[in-house]
Amino acid sequence: MKKINLAIALGATCAGCDVAILDLNEKILEVFDLVEFKFWPTAMDFKLDDLEKLKDKEVDVGIYHGAIRTTEDVKIAKILRQKSKVVVAFGACANFGGIPSLANMPYEQNMFDLVYKDVPSMDNPENTVPLTSVKIDDVELTLPGILENADALEEIIDVDYFVPGCPPMVPLIEQVIEVLKVFAKKGELPPKGAVIAGTKTLCDECGRTKPEKISFKEFISPQEVEEMDPDLCLLPQGIICLGPATRAGCDGLCTKMNVGCRGCLGPTDKVKDHGLKMISAITSLLEVDEEEEMTEEQLDKIVEKIPDPLGTFYRFTYGKSLIYKLHSEEKVI
């Protein structure tokens, strides 16, 4: 069996996706039997030159994790596309922009001022901010430029497959390995655009019981719950859980620990805007029976209990949201 040429490239990432691959434990040995690493700078001694030197399409599968945040990320992504037969967007950042894309939210303040000067914890008396170029003793040192927004990989290059998750969970990576095995043996690949995760939502696999009807009167944090029912769905207990709107595939990793789903696997195939769908579901369920008798103020009071609504509902998918696309004046439809 011919080994598959694999490249793992990265952009704006915390490298948790790399750690997730290593989390395969002994199963990683199968990976080494299956693939020939052509590029994986996090784990081995590779430089971008090594990727650039390869022939076009020499890499069978190119995996990319992280968002597109800098000019360097764009460059790497484009090289990876050029050198790979298929490209896989790996992890929430590459799929949806991820947490870095929350910075796309329009602020009155300049982002650099906010991050490098105004944050209360920042001690920066000389107001040093990153520059793309600086001359020291006539030697020019350069850094990649930062883009206005952090985007998903798909916005920059053509992507063949998607593996969401923050980071993609071991069961999903195992699915990827199975795909690679079939590819190595028979040369067959899934249809372009396939998402390697569940098709349904988390509720399908979370295992908590649903009351016949879900409704709740308030939002509370898990630590505020006096006595958590370990078997009952979290929503009727007042805990925000994005499970109903989020793609299955993690086997209820968070909800099994009494923590509401944060939505890292993104929406289903049917949904364009993950957060919007969850907002519309949650507001539909809230006090649905008494809603008519309640005043706007009373309803506002409940909704105000949601800490950081944007971060709650768009933690991983802001880069794909309609509001982002609207304010960034991209074509929405």
Partner 1 sequence: MSKVGVFVCHCGRNIAHTVDIKKVLETIKDYEDVVHVEDNMYMCSEPGQAVIKEAIKKHDLDRVVVAACSKDMHEDTFRIVTKEAGLNQYLTEMANIREQCSWVHEDKKESTEKAIKIIGSTIERVKRNQALEPYHIPVTRKALVIGGGIAGIQAALDIADAGYQVTLVEKDSTIGGKMAQLAETFPTLDCSQCILTPKMVAVGRHPNIRLLTNSEVENVDGYVGSFKVKIKKKPRYVIEEKCTICDDCVHVCPVIVHDEYNAGLSPRKAIYIAFPQAVPATYIIDPNTCLGIDPLICAKCKEVCDPKAIDFDMHPEILDEEFGAIVVATGFSAYPYEEIGEYGYGNIHNVISGLEFERLLSANGPTQGVIRRPSDGSIPKTVVFIHCAGSRDPAKHLPYCSKICCMYATKHALQYKHLVHDGVALNFYIDVRTAGKDYEEFYKRATEEESVIYVRGKVSEVIQDGEKLLIRGVNTLTSESIELHADMVVLATGLLPSKGTQEISSILKLSCDSKGFVKEAHPKLKPVETAISGVFVAGTASGPKDIPETVAQASGAAAKAQIILSSDFLERDPVIAEIDDLTCGICHTCIHVCPYGAISYDEGQNKVLVNEALCEGCGSCAAACPSGSIELRNSTYESISASIKALLKA
Position 280 contacts partner 1 (CB under 8 A): yes
Near partner 1 by CB under 8 A: residue from 119, 288, 322, 326:
288
With residues binned 3-state (H G I as helix, E B as strand, rest as coil), the percentages for the chain, rounded to 5, are: 40, 15, 45
Q: Minimal distance in Å, beta carbon 279 to partner 1?
A: 9
Residue placing its CB nearer to partner 1 in the complex, 148 or 293? 293
Position 290 contacts partner 1 (CB under 8 A): no
Q: Which residues of 93-118 are buried (b: 16+ CB within 10 A; e: fewer)?
A: bbbbbbbbbbbbbeeeeeeeeeeeee
> What distance in Å separates the CA atoms of residue 137 and residue 135, rounded to the nearest whole number?
6
Find out whether 21 and 28 touch, Cβ atoms under 8 Å: yes
Number of residues that bind partner 1 (CB under 8 A): 30
Please choose, out of 12-20, 96-104, 195-203, 300-308, the segment that lies near partner 1 by the rule CB under 8 A.
Answer: 195-203
Find out whether 13 and 65 touch, Cβ atoms under 8 Å: yes
Secondary structure E strands in the chain: 4-10, 35-39, 59-65, 68-70, 84-90, 133-136, 139-142, 146-151, 161-163
Tokens of 41: 């700078």
Q: Minimal distance in Å, beta carbon 292 to partner 1?
A: 9
Residue placing its CB nearer to partner 1 in the complex, 20 or 286? 286
Task: Write the single-letter amino acid at 30.
Answer: E
Position 294 contacts partner 1 (CB under 8 A): no
Please choose, out of 108-116, 140-148, 186-194, 270-278, the segment that lies near partner 1 by the rule CB under 8 A.
Answer: 270-278
Q: Minimal distance in Å, beta carbon 285 to partner 1?
A: 6
Position 285 contacts partner 1 (CB under 8 A): yes
Residue placing its CB nearer to partner 1 in the complex, 139 or 333? 333
Residue placing its CB nearer to partner 1 in the complex, 109 or 199? 199
Residue placing its CB nearer to partner 1 in the complex, 133 or 209? 209
Q: Minimal distance in Å, beta carbon 232 to partner 1?
A: 12
Residue placing its CB nearer to partner 1 in the complex, 66 or 244? 244
| Strands 133-136 and 4-10, bridge-based pairing | unpaired
| Strands 133-136 and 139-142, bridge-based pairing | antiparallel
Q: Minimal distance in Å, beta carbon 209 to partner 1?
A: 10
Position 130 contacts partner 1 (CB under 8 A): no
CA distances (Å), 226 to each of 68, 214, 222, 223, 257, in order?
Answer: 42, 20, 9, 8, 16
Estimate to the nearest angstrom the gap between the alpha carbon of 166 and the chain centroid.
Answer: 6
**CB atoms near residue 3 (< 10 Å):** 13
Distance between terminal CA atoms of the chain? 45
Near partner 1 by CB under 8 A: residue from 218, 284, 308, 309:
284
Please choose, out of 36-44, 83-91, 160-168, 200-208, the segment that lies near partner 1 by the rule CB under 8 A.
Answer: 200-208
Residues 212-251, one symbol each (x = binds partner 1 by CB under 8 A, - = not), give xxxx-----------------x---------xxx--x---
Cα angle: 228, vertex 234, 236; to 5 degrees: 95
Q: Minimal distance in Å, beta carbon 203 to partner 1?
A: 4
> What distance in Å separates the CA atoms of residue 234 and residue 106, rounded to the nearest whole number?
32
Please choose, out of 17-25, 122-130, 188-196, 273-281, the segment that lies near partner 1 by the rule CB under 8 A.
Answer: 273-281
Q: Which residues bind partner 1 (CB under 8 A)?
A: 199-204, 210-215, 233, 243-245, 248, 267-271, 277-278, 280-281, 284-285, 288, 333
